[in-house]
Amino acid sequence: MNVQAYVVRDEQRPPDNVLLQVVQRGLRAQPKHLPSWLFYDERGSALFEQICEQPEYYLTRAEIALLKEHAGDIAQVLGPDVRLVEYGSGHAIKTRLLLEHLATPVAWVPVELSIEPLRLGMERMAAHFPHLPIQPLAVDFTRPLRLPVPPRAPRRTVLYFPGSTIGNFEDREAAQLLRKMRSEMGDNGGILVGADLKKDRATIEAAYNDAAGVTAEFTLNLLVRLNRELGCNFELGGFRHRARYNAMAGRIETHILSQREQYVRVGRLQIPFRKDEAMLVEYSCKYSVADFAALAAAAGLAVQRVWFDPERMFSLHYLTR
């Protein structure tokens, strides 16, 4: 396995009490809100993988269909000797489909803060591409990256950001993130970014309210995490998941709703919840092609190409300077 002997860890990872501060600040605010990165502990990451397999969650299937249809063309546009830097652990199938078509890739650099998904992804990829240099970075991809020295000079660095994770950021933050990526890709580089498309409310809402209840469990797992890591006493039966499409804003808004009036211990604070009070835990933004071009432009980037799956549910954009 041609994996760099060690994983580069983020030495500036925030200390544990920062988690408490983030949660206390979010729960004292009006309206209450918590950042969606809190979903991804080990259980949350496993539940997210299960979400991707639910019949209602069309995003992953559509993105895979898109790559099956267009990976050859995408690889032509990117050209040979690409260094592929992947934001997030990614879905092994997607990365594989892309790498299978890339001519003489220089290296694959998966960037993922959670060690377990990172390790799994590397193992899967090394099994398929035994000669591909893998240079993992166990860091938070929202912070400036120090990319490892590549094994040979790439013709181009392409930052691959699949899965519509960009949609979990509000527009201003998404533009900031793209601007940061722009500086990391260099003059000749590009960004390949997945974005879920706007479509009818019923299809979108079903994707975030699957019948098997996996998304609801994923959402409420956030409270399980806070109980475990911060000693909070959220009673799971006292809260429920709600995901609704806000068509004006073009996004799914996921909230955790308090089922009754109650108090919850968060560090030294007792946080009051009213009956039916909602705390915001995630946005999942949906885009038209024009929306995404405007977002890219706000980050100083131009859309070179856009690809769609055959049912036009999902889009993949290639952005350059």
Which residue, 102 or 253, has its beta carbon nearer to ligand AVI? 253
Binding mask 114-153 for ligand AVI (x = CB under 6 A): ----------------------------------------
Is residue 274 exposed (0-12), middle (13-18) or buried (19+ Cβ within 10 Å)? exposed
- C-alpha 289/C-alpha 260 separation (Å) is 42
258 binds ligand AVI (CB under 6 A): no
- Decide if residue 167 touches ligand AVI (CB under 6 A): yes
Q: Which positions from 201 through 220 interact with ligand AVI, judged by CB under 6 A? A: 208, 215
Please state, as a whole number, how many other Cβ atoms lie within 10 Å of the Cβ of residue 42.
Answer: 12
Q: Exactly one of 178, 282, 313, 314 binds ligand AVI (CB under 6 A); which one?
A: 282
CB atoms under 10 Å from CB of 172, counted, come to: 10
Q: 31: which 2 tokens?
A: 């309206």
Report if residue 90 touches ligand AVI, rule: CB under 6 A. Answer: no
**Which CB sits closer to ligand AVI, 122 or 243?**
243
By 3-state DSSP, what share of the chain in percent is helix, strand and coil, each rounded to 5? 40, 25, 35
Question: 227: which residues sit within 8 A by CB, 6+ positions away?
Answer: 233, 234
Residue 221 sits in the site that holds ligand AVI (CB under 6 A): no
Q: How far is the CB of 89 from ligand AVI (least distance, A)?
A: 11
- Compute how many residues bind ligand AVI; rule: CB under 6 A: 11
Answer whether 284's CB lies under 8 Å from 196's CB. Answer: yes
Using CB under 6 A as the criterion, which residues of the chain lie in contact with ligand AVI when the complex forms? 51, 59, 163-165, 167-168, 208, 215, 282, 284
